[in-house]
């Protein structure tokens, strides 16, 4: 299926795949046209290169900048910060996909990410400037903690099962090499 036909078939569901398509050379999502139609976009990756929300949003931001040869392509009158516009857009689509009203309240998913407030990359930053540093910057180093369904799974940027997962991965990889 050609890229435009692929996008027409999948994009009504609000799907963007900028990291994956950029790493395999499949093309660039036409975000301005899509947003101009009033549709939402979501992020998520099957990439084997990068799998973070900030990675996806950074790729979307820079791919649009390159194609449109303009800055702040994804900014809106309500969100003049490109990072804020991207984050809010992805958050709204995620809430819709999950059937979740968003926010922090009893009965909601409680999927939360906190950034390292002591990081020099965030020094002197507040409000949207924090997102402006996180999304185009070294996103993984800025993530401090992650909670999923209210359960803390990452502390100081490290997943609680990182060592055991790495050990299993090494064993399996070694098993493949000996076959």
Q: What is the DSSP string of 53-71?
A: HHHHHHHHHHHHHHHHT-S
Averaged pLDDT for residues 111-116: 92
Task: Look up residue 159 and give its two tokens.
Answer: 């997943």
* Whether the predicted pLDDT of 116 surpasses 90: yes
- Which stretch of DSSP H or E encloses residue 83? helix 82-98
Please report the sign of the dihedral spanned by the C-alpha atoms of residue 138, residue 141, residue 147, residue 148.
positive
* Residues 55, 19 contacting (CB under 8 angstroms): yes
SS3 label, residue 148: strand
Task: Look up residue 29 and give its two tokens.
Answer: 């999502």
Task: Look up residue 3 and give its two tokens.
Answer: 């890229």
Torsion-angle region of residue 115: left (phi > 0), alpha (psi -120 to 50) or beta? Answer: beta
Beta strands (DSSP E) in the chain are 112-115, 143-148, 151-155, 158-159
* Whether the predicted pLDDT of 178 surpasses 80: no
Question: What is the pLDDT at residue 99?
Answer: 79
Tell me how many degrees the CA angle 169-173-174 measures, rounded to the nearest 5.
120
What tens digit of pLDDT does each residue of 16-65 get? Answer: 555 455 556 667 777 777 777 777 777 876 666 667 888 888 888 888 88
What tens digit of pLDDT does each residue of 125-170 get? Answer: 999 999 999 998 877 789 999 999 889 999 999 999 999 999 999 9
CA distance 49 to 81: 27
Question: What is the pLDDT at residue 114?
Answer: 94
């Amino acid at each position: 299926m050609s890229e435009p036909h692929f996008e027409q078939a999948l994009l009504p569901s609000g799907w963007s795949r900028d990291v994956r398509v950029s790493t395999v050379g499949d093309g660039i999502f036409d975000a301005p046209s899509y947003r101009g139609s009033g549709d939402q976009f979501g992020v998520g990756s099957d990439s084997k290169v990068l799998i973070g929300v900030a990675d996806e949003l950074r790729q979307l931001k820079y791919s649009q900048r390159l194609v449109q040869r303009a800055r702040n392509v994804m900014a809106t009158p309500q969100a003049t910060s490109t990072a804020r516009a991207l984050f809010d857009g992805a958050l709204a689509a995620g809430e819709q996909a999950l059937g979740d009203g968003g926010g922090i309240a009893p009965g909601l998913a409680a999927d939360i990410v906190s950034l390292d407030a002591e990081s020099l990359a965030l020094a002197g930053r507040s409000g949207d400037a924090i997102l402006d540093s996180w999304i185009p910057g070294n996103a993984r180093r800025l993530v401090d903690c992650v909670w999923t369904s209210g359960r803390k799974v990452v502390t100081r940027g490290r997943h609680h099962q990182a060592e055991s997962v790495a050990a299993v991965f090494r064993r399996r990889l070694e098993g493949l090499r000996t076959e």
